[in-house]
Amino acid sequence: MCVMLRRQGVEAARDGGERRLMPLRLRTPVSKRGRGRRAPRPRRHGVIILVVFVIISGAALIMTSLSYLGRAEMHSAGRVGRVNQAQALAWSGVQAVMAELDSQRQEMLDGRDPQVTDAWSLYGTGTERGMVQLLPVGPDDELIVSESAKLDINLADADSLARLEPLIAPDLAAAIVEARSARAGGRFDSLTDLLEVSGVTPELLWGPLEKVQVQRAAESDGDADVHFERRLRRLERGVSGPSPRGLADVLTVFSIEPVIQTTGRYRININAKYDDRMHRRIARRYGEDLADLVRNFRTNEPDRVLAEGEWYTLLSQTDAGGGQTDEYLDGFCLDEQKFAQGRVDLNRAPVEVLAALPGLDADLASALVAGREALSARDRAGTAWPIASGALTPAQWAAAAPRLTWRTSAWRVRVLGRVLIGEEEHVETAAECVYEAVIDLSSPQPRVAYLRDITMLETAIALRHLSPPPPDDEEPEAEDSEIEREAEAEGAAAGSPSRFSSRRDASGRLIDRATFAPDPGDRTAPSPDPTYDAGDGGDEADDRGGSSATSGAAPSGQRTVRPIGRWTGGG
C-alpha cells in the first residue's frame, strides 16, 4: 500500500531546486485477471423493440375496434333512422286515406263506395325512394273494408252469435255474452279481448294463421298473375262472396254512425215536443201536409212515445216500401241520440252477417246479397228496397230494419310504408312498416279509432310455438308480492282506485280496465266529441227535434252512445 502511494500519490517536481508535493490519487485495485477490461453492459435493445411492438399492436387493435364500433353505430343509427322513416311513411299513408275519405263524405252518406289511392311515391332521390301502398285487408283482398258490414260484438245477443255457425257454436256464443257482461262497462274494447273467453283461439279469431300474409302480400301485390288469380276466384264465387276466414271478418267493435240526414243535418226526433221549429223543418223537406199530420198527431197524443217496432211497421206499409220509406228513414229518428251503434250496412255485409240479424235467415240473406248487385245508386241510398224487390215481406223487413243502414262511417285499411334504395334493377328494401288502422268519420273531424303496427305479425305467428303453454292443472299462485300488497293497502286507504289504473286477479287477468273517460264531477274534463253543424243559422243551428232545452239529452233509461277509439276512450 505504501509502495502504491509512493508511486502514484507523490511526485517530485524540481523547479529551481525546490521540491513540491502533489495531491495523491487513489485507484481501485484491479485483479490480475480483469486488469485493463471494462464490465459488460446488459443488451436491452431487443426488449425495447418488443415492448414498442406490443404497444403499437395494442393501439392498432384499439383503433380498429373503435373504427368497427363507430361503423356499427353509424349503421345502427342509419337503420333506426330508416325504420323511423318507414313508420313516418306508413303514418302519412294513414293520414292520406283519412283525408281522401273525409273529402267523400257526401258520397258515403248516399251509400256509395269510397275511392282510395292504392299507392303513392312521397319522395325520391338518386338512390332512395319513399313509397306508400295499401295492402289487402279483407277476405276478398279488398283494400278498404267497412266496419259496419260486420256484427257488433257488444250488441249481439247469444242467438245472433250462434247463427254464425260454424264459426261460433251455441255454447261458445253464450260464453261470449256472459264474458261481455262480466267486463267493466259491459263491453269489449277490442276483438282481441275475445281471446280471454275460453274456447276462442287465435285461429278462430283470425283464421288459419299459416295463411296470414303481410310482407308476402306486399311483395306480390304488384304481380299481374296474382291479380288474375284474385279475379278468377271472385268469378268462381259469384255474388255470394268469400267465406269469412275467422271471427275478425264478421265481428267488430266500431260499428257506429251519426244520426244525420244525407244533407248533413241531424234527423228530426219525432218523439220530441212539437213546436214551430219542428214544423218548419218537416215542412221544408216533406211539405206542409206531412207537417200538419205530425202536428195533429203530437197535439192529440202529446205524451205518446212512438216505439221502434211500431215505427218500422208503419214505414213498411208506406208506399209499398218505395222511395218514400227511405225518405222518412233518412229524415226522422225516435230519440235524441247523436250516434247509432250496431247498424249493419245492407249494401256491403256478407251473407253470414245478414243471416244473424233478427227476422232473417241464411236463405233470405242470400237473396238480399244477390238482389243488391242489380241496384242503382239511388236505390242503394236506403234500406227499403228489399220490400219493393220482393226479397223480404213487410213483416220481415220491419223486424230487421232497426239493425240496418245503407252507409258506413268506419273503414279499416292496411298501409305499408317502405324505403327503397338502389338504382334501376338493383333496388332493395331498406326498411318497411305496416299499419292497420280504423278511420272513423262519425264526427266532423275524422279520427283514427284504431292503430296497430303489424309489421312483424308473420314473424310472431311463426314463433308462436316457441312460447311454453300455460299449465292446465296447476293452480296459479295467489300470493302477491310485498310491493303489490302495499299498493293495494294504499289504494284501499285512498278510497276508490284511480280511473287511470287497472287491476288484475291472481291469474293475471284484468278485473277492470283503465279508462280515460272524463270524470262527471271534473269541470276541467274535455267536452264530448263535436257534432255536425246544421249550417242554417238562426233557430236551425242545433237542427234537432224538440226545444233547445232538451236537445242533446238522452231519453230516460237509454244509454248515450259515443264513438269509441284511440282518443275518446270507452263510450
Measure the CA–CA gap between 419 and 87, rounded to whole angstroms: 10
Cα dihedral 488, 491, 497, 498 in deg (nearest 10): -110
Q: How many CB atoms lie within 10 A of CB 454?
A: 15
User: What pLDDT shows up at residue 36?
Assistant: 54
What tens-digit pLDDT sequence spans the chain (571 residues)? 444 444 444 444 444 444 554 554 545 555 555 455 565 666 666 788 888 888 998 888 888 888 888 888 887 787 888 899 999 999 999 999 999 999 999 999 888 899 999 999 988 887 888 999 999 888 888 899 999 999 999 999 999 999 988 889 999 999 999 999 999 889 999 999 999 999 999 899 988 887 777 765 555 555 556 555 656 655 555 555 678 889 999 999 998 899 999 888 999 999 988 889 999 999 999 999 999 998 988 888 888 888 998 999 988 887 655 578 889 999 999 998 999 999 999 999 999 999 999 989 999 999 999 888 888 888 888 899 999 888 999 999 999 999 999 999 999 999 999 999 887 778 888 899 999 999 999 988 899 999 999 998 888 888 876 766 666 554 544 444 554 555 455 444 444 443 333 344 444 444 444 333 333 443 333 334 433 443 333 344 444 333 333 333 333 444 454 554 433 333 3
User: What pLDDT shows up at residue 227?
Assistant: 56
Burial tier of 169 (Cβ tally within 10 Å: 0-12, 13-18, 19+) = middle
Cβ-contact 8, 27 below 8 angstroms: yes
User: What pLDDT shows up at residue 44?
Assistant: 65
CA distances from residue 416 to 118, 215, 249, 454 in whole angstroms, order as listed: 10, 9, 21, 10
Burial tier of 521 (Cβ tally within 10 Å: 0-12, 13-18, 19+) = exposed
DSSP string, 354-418: HHTSTT--HHHHHHHHHHGGG--TTTTSSS-HHHHHTSS-HHHHHHHGGGEES--SEEEEEEEEE
Measure the CA–CA gap between 173 and 198, rounded to whole angstroms: 11
Closest CA to 564 of 524, 531, 520, 515: 515
User: What pLDDT shows up at residue 197?
Assistant: 92
User: What pLDDT shows up at residue 324?
Assistant: 85
Measure the CA–CA gap between 334 and 133, rounded to whole angstroms: 43
Cβ-contact 377, 324 below 8 angstroms: no
| Beta-ladder partners of 341 | 256
pTM of the model: 0.72
42 CB-near residues (< 8 Å, 6+ apart)? none
User: What pLDDT shows up at residue 222?
Assistant: 53
Q: Can you give the length of the chain in residues? A: 571
User: What pLDDT shows up at residue 116?
Assistant: 93
